[in-house]
Amino acid sequence: MPAYGVALAPPAPTGAPLKCSTADGPYQRQVEELMGLQADGSQSPADCEAIQKYQESQLIVPADGSAGPITYTALYWDWAQNYPEKLSGCPQREGRVACVDLGHQILWVASKGKVAFTPVAIRSGRAELPTRTGWFRVERRKEDDWSTLYNSPMTYSQYFSGGQAIHGVYNNLYEGPGSHGCVNLRHADAQRLWSTLQQGDAVYVWGKKPGA
């Protein structure tokens, strides 16, 4: 099963495997470090083969061995699952804080300096409709909402900045360039988060979506 629990892109067409990319990817060094490869920031045939195998195992398309943003965030999610105590960037507070790391496309909940809800994958706003950054609070919650603007379901919606909410989606998190500003989660993750957060809890959003 893919690390995110969903395919990161549509299934690859049948036929001959893609030729391995010889070019350095935009996240070359980061991907090498997370995969335990020689972190020199330069693509080698061995690097490409290892990255391509990982992409195939996670259903990342195209599985061409390039160290791109989806491969990087998938690997980072793997790492975060194994080392939640090493997560950083989210200031500590006494109460619960929903930590939304746009740079790594993950969300977790911290409480008194400890991880109370393990990291899950997210899809944040696209370049022209970015997710707002800063400190917020869960302003209102609606378990079964519907976007009249975009004609789509918004399950387990927890609004934190006007019309921007953390909510579940049924489609692939990695279809398209990003959300319309909301923080999208897999439906099952949004359901679990609904049971963790309450109205009034803090939300901290920082960073920038890779590739945006």
Which tokens sit at 67? 């160290």
Q: What is the value of pTM for the model shown? A: 0.84
pLDDT string in tens for the chain (212-residue length): 454 433 344 444 555 678 898 999 999 999 999 999 999 999 999 999 999 999 998 888 889 999 999 899 989 999 999 999 999 999 988 899 999 999 999 999 999 889 999 999 999 999 999 999 999 999 999 999 988 887 788 999 999 999 999 999 998 786 678 899 999 999 999 999 999 999 999 999 999 999 87
Which tokens sit at 148? 């009249």
Question: What was the pLDDT predicted at 16?
Answer: 60
- Residue 62: asked if its preceding bond is cis (omega within 30°), the reply is yes
Question: What was the pLDDT predicted at 113?
Answer: 82
Instruction: State CA 66 to chain mean position distance.
Output: 19
Residue 199 CB partners (closer than 8 Å, separation 6+): 138, 139, 140, 141
Question: What was the pLDDT predicted at 173?
Answer: 81
132 and 181 Cβ atoms separated by less than 8 Å:
yes
199 and 140 Cβ atoms separated by less than 8 Å:
yes
CA 80 to CA 74: how far, in whole Å?
10
Q: Measure the CA dihedral 88/33/54/41, to 10°.
A: 120
Domains and CATH numbers, the chain: 1-82 (no CATH), 91-206 (2.40.440.10)
